[in-house]
Amino acid sequence: MPRPTGDVRAFETRASDADLDDLRARLAAARLPEAETVHRAAPGPRRWDQGVPLADLVDVVDYWRTGYDWRSFEELLGRVGQFRTTIDGLGIHFLHRRSARPDAVPLILTHGWPDSIVRFIDVVDELADPKDAGTPAFHVVVPSLPGFGYSDKPASTGWGTEKIAAAWVELMGRLGYGRFAAHGGDWGGNITTVLGGRFPAHVIGIHTTFAEAPPGLPTDGLTADERAWIDETRDFWSHRAGYAKQQAARPQTIGYSLVDSPVGLLAWILDKFAEWSDTEDSPFETISKDRVLDDVTLYWLTRTGASAARIYYESHNSLDPELRVDVPSALTMYPRDVEKCPRPWAQERYRRIVRWNRPEKGGHFPSLEVPEYFVEDLQEGLAAVLAADR
């Protein structure tokens, strides 16, 4: 296996004690609004009709201030392996876990918003060194998107999904991976689609939980379930996507609150973990408080609330309608994800679907909600991709 170039440097995460003390002080001094005016009995999703319920937020803030341990997450990042490199003048942070298996295949995992590299932190080891010798193994690379985490914040426009995908090809090449597989969800799914469509010479194939069909396709011939998916997606974009419109139109404005107030940042992100997870009430039914707070604290310590929001300004609704993906593709539609694409529509863009999966449970963050199933699905999907590449 080729070795990384000299442009790749090891990186260590270490927040200052002063920054952590400041965070706790801000949490202790937080000014909170009155309770929501929709009074619902717990548990139940309708409690969240006006956003994060006050009682839930108070509970998480108290734990964040008195019980949460950021240092343990820093240690976890160090055990996986962190690095940085500079591409097109921008510093890119990434995790890199090499497999011990000689037949391992390079794999890049791309996160979205409001998550981060935290999305994949619990699945890297099993993907790199699976317990079953007959299961594919991977050299796993998990980059932080530009403006997210420990990647640099772009100082000018232009870092949309097309440029990010090209940067990922350069990143993988620097690690010695001329050809690789790719997976992503949310924005990571969009970028993975661009990777498969624009760079087939480098991309063996893709797996994604986010498939975006070309616009204007008819509903004729869709099943009742598929028509319901279309209705749900339209309802989402009509009534529940204010966050996306805000970040696409005015990311700087919301960014002041996200960078200045840890409670504001927590509420903005926690709302999405709650709404987009396959739960009946709280996201903590399937995702630990620690993992959610790992994600929120990463945003807080790196001051990336505004810079991360700008990916919507750069790329919202920008996927090229003419883009087609001809590399082998495995697609998984989790039942409680916010957007699900019918297969007849998906195959208009992804023209070599080698595996199509509809799990019984899971939402927008499957690697955090159902990590064991997610790993199995990703392994099986990429096994089909690799078989089709032979």
Contacts of 364 (CB under 8 A, 6+ apart): 185, 186, 272, 276, 277, 334, 336, 337, 338
348 with 356: CB under 8 angstroms?
no
CATH architecture of 9-389: 3-Layer(aba) Sandwich (3.40)
User: Quick count: other Cβ atoms within 10 Å of Cβ 13?
Assistant: 19
Buried b (16+ CB within 10 A) or exposed e, 323-360: eebebbbbbbbbebbbbbbbbbbbbebbeebbbbeebe
Work out whether the CA dihedral 19, 25, 27, 29 comes out positive or negative.
negative
Q: How far apart are CA 72 and CA 296, in angstroms?
A: 15
State residue 3's pLDDT score: 54
pLDDT tens for 328-366 read 999 999 999 999 999 999 999 999 999 999 999 999 999
Q: In which order are the strands placed within the sheet that holds 353-357?
A: 9-10, 82-87, 90-97, 138-143, 105-110, 180-184, 203-208, 329-332, 353-357
State the helix-helix crossing angle for 262-276 and 242-249, rounded to 10 degrees: 130
Q: In terms of Cα–Cα distance, which of 113, 173, 194, 177 is closest to 146?
A: 113
Domain residues of the chain, as ranges? 9-389
> What are the tokens at 233?
């997606």
156 with 147: CB under 8 angstroms?
no
Q: How confident is the model at residue 74 (pLDDT cuts 50, 70, 90)?
A: very high
In this model, does residue 149 exceed pLDDT 90? Answer: yes
Mean pLDDT over 367-375 rounds to 98
pLDDT tens for 117-129 read 999 999 999 999 9
Q: How far apart are CA 153 and CA 164, in angstroms?
A: 13
pLDDT tens for 215-236 read 999 999 999 999 999 999 999 9
pLDDT tens for 285-333 read 999 999 999 999 999 999 999 999 999 999 999 999 999 999 999 999 9
pLDDT tens for 95-139 read 999 999 999 999 999 999 999 999 999 999 999 999 998 999 999
In this model, does residue 371 exceed pLDDT 90? Answer: yes
In three-state form (DSSP H/G/I as H, E/B as E, the rest C), the secondary structure along the chain is: CCCCCCCCEECCCCCCHHHHHHHHHHHHCCCCCCCCCCCCCCCCHHHHCCCCCHHHHHHHHHHHHHCCCHHHHHHHHHHHCEEEEEECCEEEEEEEECCCCCCCEEEEEECCCCCCHHHHCCCHHHHHCCCCCCCCCEEEEEECCCCCCCCCCCCCCCCCHHHHHHHHHHHHHHCCCCCEEEEECCHHHHHHHHHHHHCCCCEEEEEECCCCCCCCCCCCCCCHHHHHHHHHHHHHHHHCCHHHHHHHHCHHHHHHHHHHCHHHHHHHHHHHHHHHCCCCCCHHHCCCHHHHHHHHHHHHHHCCHHHHHHHHHHHCCCCCCCCCECCCEEEECCCCCCCCCCHHHHCCCECCEEEEECCCCCCCCHHHHCHHHHHHHHHHHHHHHHHHHC
